Amino acid sequence: MKTMWRGTAGATLLLVATLTVGASARAEELKPTTAGDGSAEHVIRLTPAELRWTDGPPMLPPGARMAVIDGSFSEPGLFTVRLKFPANYRIPPHWHPVKVTVTVISGTFNMGFGDELDTGKGKVLPAGSIFEMPARIHHFGWTTE
């Protein structure tokens, strides 16, 4: 499922996390469709065109886009979102209160660890790459293409 911005390259990431403290952002959230058999489980079947993209959360610099796939980005609990970053985007050092799993869907994402954004201390993560971080790991990221 390759997603690109028209006219610019960047990176599209899939973020899965368990949020134990509500985040300050509120995105338009999709309502899952039930399987129709009365089960409590829900089914999510979305094409790329059905994703509802909004501006990224306020903790990210302007330019990011976000689509909530499952759960709520603003309430405690497991959630899944897609994030898109434009070319030459910088994410300052930060940390998350929970474990985070990220998959690079398209483009290239660069990531490093520490309290200072240093592009010489990162790792290039091309499409298909996965990274996981335990809670409270200080990290930063950027795109170049």
**Structural domains in the chain, sorted by start:** 10-142 (2.60.120)
Q: What is the pLDDT of residue 77?
A: 82
Spatial CB neighbours of 15, under 8 Å, sequence gap ≥ 6: 80, 81, 82, 83, 100, 101, 102
pLDDT score, position 1 = 33
**CA nearest to 13, candidates 97, 122, 125, 90:** 125
Q: List average pLDDT for each run of 10 residues in the chain, which is 145 residues long.
A: 42 62 41 57 88 93 94 83 95 92 95 97 95 95 92
pTM: 0.73
Predicted local distance difference test score (pLDDT) of residue 33? 53
